[in-house]
A and B are shown apart, each in its own frame.
Chain A
Amino acid sequence: MNPGWDFHALAPLIVIVITIVVVLFADFFFEYRGRFRTSQFATFGVLAAMVPVVTLAVDGGTRVMFGGAIVVDPYALTMQGFFLVATYITLLISVDYIGDGDYYQGEFYVLMLTSLLGMLVMTTARDMISIFVALETISIPTFVLAGWRKHDRKSNEASIKYYLIGVISSALMLYGMSLVFGLTGSTLLSEISTKVASIDEPLLIVAVFLTLVGFAFKVSAVPFHFWAPDTYEGAPTPVTAYLSVASKAGGFVALLTIVYFGFFDAPDTWQPVIWVLAAASMLLGNLAALRQTNIVRMLAYSSIAQGGFLLVPFAVAADGGAAKASFEAVIIYLLIYGAMNLGAFAVVITLARRTKSAEIESYAGLGSYAPWLALLMSAFMFSLAGVPPFAGWFAKFVMFRSVLEAGTPAATVLGVIAAVSSVIAFFYYARVAREMWFHSVREGADASPVQMPIALTFAMGVCGVIVLAVGVYPQAFAFLGDFAAGG
C-alpha cells in the first residue's frame, strides 16, 4: 500500500464522495415525480459514512497522513460523527420543504453533501492550507443554498450578503495565514505551534488577529455578525438550520484546531481578541434577540449569542489548568447545541408549512391544538435557555466549569457576563413558550391539528430524545468530550 494513504481513515470521505456522484447522476435518470428518491440516496450515504467513523473509533489511535496535514484522531472522529448526524437531521427536515417547493431536488442534496465533505475534511485538517480548503468547501455550496428560492428577493439578498461576507472573511483570513507562514516558515500547525511562543514580533499579533477575524465572520461573532440575521431570514429555513448548526460548527472546529494545535503557546495574541468577541456576542446577541418578532430572526440572534457562549472556553483556554476543560466544553457545547437548535428549526419548519408565517405571534395557543409539538418546542427553547432537565444546562455548565478552572480575574468577569446573559436569554426563549401555552388561539387562525410529515416528526423526535436524555444523563455526551480531548 502507498505509505501516505490510509483508506480506512479516509473511508468516511470516500463514502460521501461516492454518494455525491451517485446523487448527481441519479437525478438525471429519475422522472420528475421520482426525484424525491435522490434524498433517500443522500440520507443513506450519510448513514453509511457513520460506519467507518465508528470502526475507526473502536480501532482507536491516531492516523497521520500527508506529512501531518491530515490527522484522524479521536477529536476528528467525534466531530465527524457530529457532522454526519447533524447533516442527516438537516436532510430529514429538508425533504418535505424541498419537495413542497418544487425546487431542484437533486442539486440541493449534492450541494449539501459537498458542504458536508468540507466539514469532514475540516475535522482532520492540521495544516493551514487544508483548513482553508476545507472551509471554502463548506462555504461555497452554502452560498448557493442560501439563494435557493431564486424567485424570492429576500433569498437573493441572503445569498448575496452571505457570499460577499464569505469572500471578504476568506480574504482576511488568507492574508493573516500568509503572515503566519511568513513568520514561522510553515503552514503545518504542528510546526507553527513550536515556534509561536518564541516569536517576538508585533506582526504576529496582526497575523493572528486577521486570521481570527476571518473565523469570527464565519461563526458570526459580534461585531462581525451583521450578515447573519438577514441571511438566516432570507434563506430557505432548512438551509438556515444547516447554516446555524453544521456550518457554524465547521467554523468552530476550524477555530478549535487552529487555536489548540497552532497558536496555543502564544495566548497573548488570541485570548484578548476572543474574550472581546465572546463578551460582545453574548451581550449583543441576547439583547437584540429580545426585540425580535420573527422566530427565524430570533433564532439567528440566539445563535449569535450561543456562539458567544461557545467562545467563552476559548477565551480562558490558556489560563490556569483550563486547557482540557475548555476543549471538552467546546465539543460538548457543540454537540448539545446542534441537537437543540436543529430541533427548534424542525418545529419552525413543521409549523411554517401550515401557517406560512414565522411570526412568534402565530404560535399563540399552539399548546391547545398541537400539544406534543408545543411540548417539544418548549423543551428546545428551555434547553437553549439552559434550564434543567434539558440538555442545555449541561452545555452551560461545562462552559462555566472552564471559566472557573481558569480562575483568572478576566475569566471571572467573563463568567459573570455569561451568567447575566443567560438570564437575559431566558426572557426571549420563554416568550415562545408563553405564546404557545399562556395565550389562546388568535382570531381567524386555523386551529385544526397540524399535519406531521414522517421525516420531520422523526427529526424532532430524535432531537427531543437527545435533549431530554442528555439533560438527565449528561455523561452520554460528556464521555464524547473526554474521548475527543484524548481521554
Chain B
Amino acid sequence: MNWFQDWALTLSIFLPAVGMVIILLIPRAKENAIKLVALLTSLVTLGVGIGILADFDYSNTGVMQFRVNDSWIDLIQARYHLGVDGISLPMLILSMLVTVLCIVYSWNHFPEPHNPKGLLALILLLEVGMNGTFLAEDLILFFVFFEIVLLPMFFMIGVWGGPNREYASIKFFLFTLFGSALMLLGFLALFFLAGTFQIPALTAKAGIDIAHNTQNLIFLGLFLGFAIKVPMFPFHTWLPDAHTEAPTVGSVLLAAVLLKLGAYGFIRIALPTLPHAAETWAPWIGLLAVVGIIYGALCCLAQTDMKRLIAFSSVSHMGFVMLGIATLTAFGINAAIFGMVAHGLITGMLFFVAGSVQHNYGTRELSRLGGLLTSAPKMGWILGFCVMASLGLPGLAGFWGEFPAVLSAYQPAPGLDVTTFRIFMVVAAVGTVLAAGYLLWMYQRVAFGTPKPEFAEAHIHDVSKIEWLAWSPMLIGIVVFGIYPEAIFGITNGAVMKLYGG
C-alpha cells in the first residue's frame, strides 16, 4: 500500500477538480451524464477517504500520516505539504461525506435557474478547497485552500439563492476576504519571525523566540481571519443572510463544513503556533463564545423564518465549540472537535429538512407552517429527531458536543483565570436551556397542529427515496456517535493530547 500512502491525500484533494473539469466539458443539455460524473467523482473521493480510514494507524493518531512534502513555491519557501492526523481525519471524512450527500440530494432538487452543470461543478470545486484546508500543513497552502472555498460559495448563493441573494453573496465574500487579508499578514509575520511556513515546525517552536507583544498582534490577525469564518459574535452577521439566501445544498455545505474551517484554523494553527498569545486572548475568545451562545439563542427566539432560525442556532452552537477551544485544554478541544462533527451532521440535516419543507410548502415562514406531522409524518419525525439531537439530548451526537464543552470550562488550562471560566460555564449552561426553548418552539410551530388552511388541500410529499438516500447516513451518524462517542474521541484524543497535553 505504499502507493496509496503517497497519493491518498493528493487524490482526495484533486479528484474533485478532475471531476469538475470533466463536467465543464460535457454539454449542458446532457444533464444525466453531468449528474452521474459528479456523483461518481464524489463517491470515488469518499472511497479514497474510506481507504485512508482503513489504512490509518489508530495507535498513533498524534502523528501526521500519509504525509506528502514536495517543493511548491521555492522563492517564498512554501511547500506542498499535506498530512492527516486525528484532528483532521474526522473533518476530512465529514467533508467528503457531506459532499456526496449534497450531490445525491440535489439529484431532483435543482433550484432555479436549474443549470445542474454549474451547481455540481461548484460543489466539486468547493470540495477541493474544503479537503485541502483540512490537510494542508503549510500556511500558504492552507491560505490558498481556505480562499478557494469562497468563489464557489459566492456563486452558489448569488446564482441559485433567494430574493436577496446578491446582497448576501457579496456580504459573505467581503467579510471573509477582509478576515483572510489580515490572516495572511499574520502568516507572513510568523514567517519572518519564525523562519518557516511549515505548521509542524511552527508548532514545535511554539513562538518561543517571538516577543509577547508581537505574538499578541499576530494572533489578532489570525483570530480575525478564523473568527469571521466560524463565525463568532460580533462577526457573525454575514451568516444569517448567507444561510437564508443560499440554496439548500449551499446551506448544508456551509453549516456542515465551511464553518468548521475557522474553528479548525484555531485548533491547528492559531493556538499551537502562538501558545502565549493564545493564553492572553483565551478569556476574550471565551467571552465572545458565550456572548455568541446567548445572543444566537435569543435571536433564534425572534425569528420568523425557519432557515434563519437554524442559522442563528449555528451561531449559538459554534459558541460552544469556541468555548471548548478557549479553555486550551485537551478535554475542551476534544469536545470542540466532537461538537464540530455533531453540529455538521445535525445542522446539516436541519437545513436539508428546511429545504424540503420549502420545496413542499413554497415557504419557510413559521407563521404559515404547521401540521407537518400530519401531512408528512416521516419528515415530521425526522425533523423532531434532529431537533432533539440539536438541543443536546443524551444518546444523540449533539450531547457529546455540547456537554463536555460546557464542562471543560470548569477547569481551564493552567494560567487561565478559573473564576472567569466558571462564570462562562454557567452562562453557557443557560444557553443550553434556551436552545431547548427555541428548538422546541420551532418544532411545535412547524410540525404540531393541523396544516394551515392555505395548505389544507395541498399535496405534501413525504420523504422521497432520494431524500432517504441522502439523509440516512447522517441520521445513522447522529445515533451512532451519540451512543458510541468513543468512535470520534478515540481518534481525536491522541492528536489533541500531543498538541495540548501540556
Chain B binds chain A: yes
Using CB atoms and an 8 Å cutoff, list the residues of chain A in contact with chain B. Answer: 328, 371, 382, 387-389, 393-394, 397-398, 400-401, 404-405, 407, 415-416, 419-420, 422-423, 426-427, 430, 433-434, 437-438, 440, 473-475, 478-479, 481-482
In the complex, which of the residues B72, B147, B169 contacts A475, with contact meaning CB atoms closer than 8 Å? B72
With a cutoff of 8 Å between Cβ atoms, the chain B residues found around residue A430 in the complex are 154, 170, 173
Q: Is the CB of B188 within 8 A of A478?
A: no
Binary A-proximity of B134-161 (CB < 8 A = 1, otherwise 0): 0000001001100110110011001100
In the complex, which of the residues A404, A415, A420, A479 contacts B75, with contact meaning CB atoms closer than 8 Å? A479
Using CB atoms and an 8 Å cutoff, list the residues of chain B in contact with chain A. Answer: 28, 71-76, 113, 140, 143-144, 147-148, 150-151, 154-155, 158-159, 165-166, 169-170, 173-174, 177-178, 181-182, 184-185, 188-189, 191-192
CB distance from A144 to the nearest CB of B (A): 40
With contacts A387-B150, A393-B147, A474-B73 known, is A400 near B184, CB below 8 A? Answer: yes
Q: Is the CB of B76 within 8 A of A397?
A: yes
- In Å, the complex CA distance between A404 and B190 comes to 10
Q: Is the CB of A478 within 8 A of B158?
A: no
Q: Is the CB of A478 within 8 A of B74?
A: yes
With a cutoff of 8 Å between Cβ atoms, the chain A residues found around residue B192 in the complex are 404-405, 407
Q: Is the CB of A475 within 8 A of B174?
A: no
Q: Is the CB of A426 within 8 A of B75?
A: no
- In Å, the complex CA distance between A365 and B235 comes to 33
New A-B contacts (18) at CB < 8 Å, excluding given A371-B28, A394-B73, A419-B184: A388-B144, A388-B147, A397-B76, A400-B184, A400-B185, A401-B188, A404-B188, A420-B181, A426-B177, A430-B173, A434-B170, A437-B158, A438-B169, A473-B73, A474-B73, A474-B75, A478-B76, A479-B75
- In Å, the complex CA distance between A423 and B72 comes to 27
Q: Is the CB of B76 within 8 A of A427?
A: no
CB distance from B350 to the nearest CB of A (A): 27
Q: Is the CB of A389 within 8 A of B148?
A: yes
Q: Is the CB of A475 within 8 A of B177?
A: no
- In Å, the complex CA distance between A155 and B71 comes to 50
- In Å, the complex CA distance between A395 and B327 comes to 39
In this complex, what residue of A is CB-closest to B217? A412
- In Å, the complex CA distance between A424 and B133 comes to 25
Q: Is the CB of B151 within 8 A of A387?
A: yes
In this complex, what residue of A is CB-closest to B80? A473
CB distance from B163 to the nearest CB of A (A): 12
In this complex, what residue of B is CB-closest to A475? B73
In this complex, what residue of B is CB-closest to A480? B75
In the complex, which of the residues B76, B148, B165, B178 contacts A423, with contact meaning CB atoms closer than 8 Å? B178
With contacts A388-B147, A393-B144, A479-B75 known, is A438 near B158, CB below 8 A? Answer: yes
CB distance from A252 to the nearest CB of B (A): 20
CB distance from A461 to the nearest CB of B (A): 15
Q: Is the CB of A479 within 8 A of B173?
A: no
Q: Is the CB of A438 within 8 A of B189?
A: no
Q: Is the CB of A434 within 8 A of B158?
A: yes
CB distance from A363 to the nearest CB of B (A): 14
With a cutoff of 8 Å between Cβ atoms, the chain B residues found around residue A434 in the complex are 158, 166, 169-170
With a cutoff of 8 Å between Cβ atoms, the chain A residues found around residue B166 in the complex are 434, 438
- In Å, the complex CA distance between A440 and B185 comes to 38
With a cutoff of 8 Å between Cβ atoms, the chain A residues found around residue B144 in the complex are 388-389, 393
Residue of B72, B140, B188, B191 contacting most chain A CB atoms (<10 Å): B188
In the complex, which of the residues B76, B159, B169, B185 contacts A419, with contact meaning CB atoms closer than 8 Å? B185
With a cutoff of 8 Å between Cβ atoms, the chain A residues found around residue B72 in the complex are 473, 475
In this complex, what residue of B is CB-closest to A389? B148
CB distance from B5 to the nearest CB of A (A): 24
Q: Is the CB of A423 within 8 A of B189?
A: no
- In Å, the complex CA distance between A221 and B148 comes to 31
- In Å, the complex CA distance between A438 and B173 comes to 15
In the complex, which of the residues A393, A420, A438 contacts B165, with contact meaning CB atoms closer than 8 Å? A438
With a cutoff of 8 Å between Cβ atoms, the chain B residues found around residue A474 in the complex are 73, 75
- In Å, the complex CA distance between A96 and B28 comes to 30
- In Å, the complex CA distance between A165 and B192 comes to 42
With a cutoff of 8 Å between Cβ atoms, the chain A residues found around residue B158 in the complex are 434, 437-438
CB distance from A331 to the nearest CB of B (A): 11
With a cutoff of 8 Å between Cβ atoms, the chain B residues found around residue A401 in the complex are 76, 188
Q: Which 4 A-B pairs have the closest CB atoms?
A: A478-B75, A419-B181, A388-B147, A404-B188
In this complex, what residue of B is CB-closest to A482? B75
With a cutoff of 8 Å between Cβ atoms, the chain A residues found around residue B155 in the complex are 433, 437
- In Å, the complex CA distance between A422 and B179 comes to 12
Q: Is the CB of A438 within 8 A of B75?
A: no
With contacts A426-B174, A430-B170, A430-B173 known, is A387 near B75, CB below 8 A? Answer: no
- In Å, the complex CA distance between A474 and B143 comes to 14
In this complex, what residue of A is CB-closest to B143? A388
- In Å, the complex CA distance between A419 and B185 comes to 9
In the complex, which of the residues B147, B169, B189 contacts A387, with contact meaning CB atoms closer than 8 Å? B147
In the complex, which of the residues A393, A400, A427 contacts B188, with contact meaning CB atoms closer than 8 Å? A400
CB distance from B182 to the nearest CB of A (A): 6
